[in-house]
Amino acid sequence: MSVQTTEAIVLRSTNFAESSKIVTFYSPQFGKIKGIAKGARSAKNKFGSSLEIFSHVILVFYQKKTDIQLISQCDLKNPFLNIRNDLIRTAYASYFIELINKTTEGGAQDSEQIFSLILNALTALETANVESEVLAHFFEVRLLKILGCIPVFDRCVNCGAKITEGKFSCRLGGILNNECWGADESAFQVSLGTILTIQHLQTSDFSNLSRLKLNKLSSKELKLVLESYIKYTLVKNLKSLEFLEKITQMKVPL
């Protein structure tokens, strides 16, 4: 066994045996790490609150040739208290974390990009300098891009022609122009404004998201396009997304 130290974000934490926890982390060097934190539920717990979901930590673990590593130390770097103290922000953070947990495997492929995406998204939620809905759609677009399954939005996915308006096809993975609507009868109408907004999200970064505002139509269509495509291509059942939808419908104030 070798001792490894890395930054990480806590993705999941579940009780194990009488006094331990099985914790899943995401790190820039190793990607997803699953480890056992022995004694994490005991009276003399040395881990404190560092194993709570979406905590930013410094993790020390014994790397073994098994699926479960042995966690030696976990020091809290940022607990994201502003997120934890706000129900809507907590719902968005939980969605980001579950999406990462269910769409990534072990290993270090693209791990630096994915870790940076998670950490920057949580930091933006913590500081509230970006509208949460805009942040969520940027997160979805950027994750799809990193995973190599971003839909085609700059031309017709069927014939390659320039798009002025169209319908979105989950099955074909992109926008269909008027002449190609028949290629997928299940495709649904998307306005040009929404198409341009998605193109903008593809080329944006966290520093300029605060300037992006969504009108009611784009908000509705972005949600439909991105969530439908994620469910079609990546993962169907996201409990955190159901919770987020319920919370936002309640219009709980920030």
Q: What is the pLDDT of residue 142?
A: 96
Kindly report the backbone phi and psi dihedral angles of residue 164, in degrees, each rounded to the nearest multiple of 5, phi listed first.
-115, -30
Query: Which residues of the chain carry a pLDDT beneath 70?
Result: 107-108, 251-254
User: Does 119 lie in the same domain as 53?
Assistant: no
User: Does 148 lie in the same domain as 27?
Assistant: no
Tally the domains of the chain: 2
pTM over 0.85: yes
User: Does 129 lie in the same domain as 32?
Assistant: no
User: Does 94 lie in the same domain as 75?
Assistant: no
> The domain spanning residue 210 has which CATH number?
1.20.1440.120
Q: What is the pLDDT of residue 253?
A: 47
User: Does 204 lie in the same domain as 193?
Assistant: yes
User: Does 70 lie in the same domain as 97?
Assistant: no
User: Does 147 lie in the same domain as 86?
Assistant: yes
* Proportion of the chain above pLDDT 70, given as a percent: 98
| Token couple for 179 | 């002449």
User: Would you list the DSSP string of 145-197?
Assistant: HHTT-PPB-SS-TTT-PPPSSEEEETTTTEEE-GGGGGG-TT-EEE-HHHHHH
| Token couple for 85 | 């103290």
User: Alpha-carbon Rg of the chain, whole angstroms?
Assistant: 20
- C-alpha–C-alpha distance, residues 9 and 58, integer Å: 9
Q: Could you tell me the residue range of the domain that residue 11 belongs to? A: 2-79
Domain boundary residue, one of 79, 111, 129: 79
Model confidence pLDDT, tens digit, residues 58-92: 999 999 888 899 999 999 999 999 999 999 999 99
> The domain spanning residue 65 has which CATH number?
2.40.50.140
User: Does 109 lie in the same domain as 67?
Assistant: no
Question: What's the distance, Cα to Cα, between the start and end of the chain in Å?
Answer: 47
User: Does 110 lie in the same domain as 59?
Assistant: no
Domain boundary residue, one of 55, 79, 103: 79
- C-alpha–C-alpha distance, residues 79 and 21, integer Å: 18
User: Does 207 lie in the same domain as 132?
Assistant: yes
By DSSP bridging, strand 31-37 and strand 69-78 are parallel
User: Would you list the DSSP string of the chain?
Assistant: -EEEEEEEEEEEEEEETTTEEEEEEEETTTEEEEEEETTTTSTT-SSTTTTSTT-EEEEEEEE-SSSSEEEEEEEEEE--HHHHT-HHHHHHHHHHHHHHHHH--BB-TTHHHHHHHHHHHHHHHHHT-S-HHHHHHHHHHHHHHHTT-PPB-SS-TTT-PPPSSEEEETTTTEEE-GGGGGG-TT-EEE-HHHHHHHHHHHH--GGGGGG----HHHHHHHHHHHHHHHHHHT-S--HHHHHHHHHHHHT---
Nearest to 227 by CA among 53, 95, 94: 95
User: Does 114 lie in the same domain as 40?
Assistant: no
Q: What is the pLDDT of residue 43?
A: 79
Domain boundary residue, one of 79, 105, 122: 79
Q: What is the pLDDT of residue 251?
A: 58
Cα torsion 133, 137, 138, 139 to 10°: value is 100
User: Does 91 lie in the same domain as 44?
Assistant: no
